[in-house]
Structure 1
Amino acid sequence: MTIDRRETQEVSRLIASLLRELTEGPVERIIISTSLEERMRSIGFSPLVAYEISEEHTPKVIEKLEHALQDWDFEKVPRPVTSSGNGRVVFGLRSTKYDGGLPCNFFDVLEFVRTADEHELLGIAALANIAVGCDRVFVTDKGGGDAGVDILARLPMPIGYPSVLLATQCKAYANPLSQLEVDSAWHRYNRGLGESAKWQQFLNAVSANGLPVSPGRVFSILASNGLSPQGRKTAVSLGVSFSSPRQISLLLSPRLELEDIKMFCTKVPRSRNLNLNLAQEAPLSFKAPQLPVQSRGEQSAAESKFG
């Protein structure tokens, strides 16, 4: 059977749409060939032609799906669909037969991350820092006076090691960050390091409770729609830490419902507030176990060793 150019384009669009559903949104259960067949019928293909095209293109769909899911594997995020074993049937994470490991609210959180405005993304970044164990988390500013940092956090280390300062710049953009945008964020942060008076205020805030931070700092970018391939390469070359929207969603969704995340975001100040420790505002069930706090003498010895 042959189909004309227009029909070929229609089939390509249908395959792309199906793949987006399988990898970008929750699905109950998908039988790939049947789903493709039904789609073709819906745009005017006869039942026989729809069936024949579906049979011809199903192997291509399965191949493209496997390729798309390799991105999830690379990010160490469980796949959103699992195979039934025959290659033509996959189960979505809300199916009772799904065994891939994602929580059922994963895509709800992912959609919130991807559509977050600047203020909501501050809350998401703060929660991400709290999730990895930070005990002091602050909004430094939003705008020109932030020294290139939007969220500042202290990550305690085991006794004998200095705590670590995490500095995050948030980007609520509709598209993945380009190489130029990553490079610009990095240079803004570096220029900000020269603002000694401002950084002293930051350090005073995170060093409270007798637990100073080490001279070393980790700079990260949290972009609501991630980094482009070239942006990721640039970040790696510059030593900039970053997490994809899927990785952030995987970090948050097992322990918090979407409404909890939204509620937390309402508590986040819209400008600099070095008095409000956001780690104290997170739901108790969400907070990571705290490490033993060492004395100032122990901490000074550790800083001398590593500083």
Structure 2
Amino acid sequence: MLAVRLSRARRLGPRVVLPLAGSVLQAAVVAAAATFVVFLLMRLIPGDPARILAGPGGSVTPEQVERTRRELGLDDPIALQYWNWITDAVRGDFGNSLVLNDTVAELLADRLVITLQLSVYAFTLAVVLAIPLSLVAARRQGAIADKLSRLAGATGVAVPSFWLALLLIIVAQGVLPTFGYAPLSEGLGAHLGHMLLPALALGAGFATLVFETTRAGLIDTLSSDYVRTARAFQIPERRIYGRYALRNAFLPTLTIFGLEAGALMAGALLVENAFALPGMGRLIVQGVLSRDYPVVQACILVIVVVFVAVNLLMDLLYAVVDPRVRRSRG
């Protein structure tokens, strides 16, 4: 028996490693292309950081501006600037802020935690609300519960997260904390109280997509032949939904998880500014307004890496959930 298992492991090794290596390579190419585009766009924004750093406008000479540009490496070709920056970033050196007089890594450390917390809370809240509602709506298709769920879903898609954030601030004024951030060191209750409204504002649209996708997949799966056969054999409904229907209907939802990971991070940037959360969103806004290239580039790099990493994880989960994917890769 042990020899058989070892033989299977040897046969499965290339089937797992080779597709994984290809996915990692593809993710690296996507990340490099995305960061280069952002790097280039930052150089096209009107305004010269060298002139800003050289001193007050009237007292700055062209020679001072040129000397500052040379010190910052802004007179190098764009391709060389990008290569120097990305090679340093891979080693964890994001440079120094041009405006805030601190290393970019230090500026990112605390702010990244807040943004990731907000994204995780929004993701968890959306999944916890959307999956059970999709099960109820699919099981009672056409009933009042289904229609109300779909109406709420349509509203969630139509309302932008930033506008919903402003609405929640008005409605919850005096009931829940609407501005600022409380770290976990101040207590779990205070922390979650400050993060609840931002998570609702950020996760509403994502919850709608998860609900609609899962509901549609469940309705399609429940009408399949193997589900009707399972019911003919009097298999309990709970087992049919949990083991057969939901597992197959969840494949398109995994795709939504991967695609919306970057959207959650990007949406968090807007929501953070609405609720005055000191996360990456406010840091990016400050960086863009002050032409602080290293700060903006590092923040975008983090978002791209998170987006690519989550999509890579979803690709691997596909192979775990659906055996057909494993066979097609073999």
The structure whose Rg is larger is: 2
Q: Which has the higher contact order (CA 8 A, sep 6+)?
A: 2
Q: TM-score, normalised by structure 1?
A: 0.24
Indicate the structure with greater strand content.
1
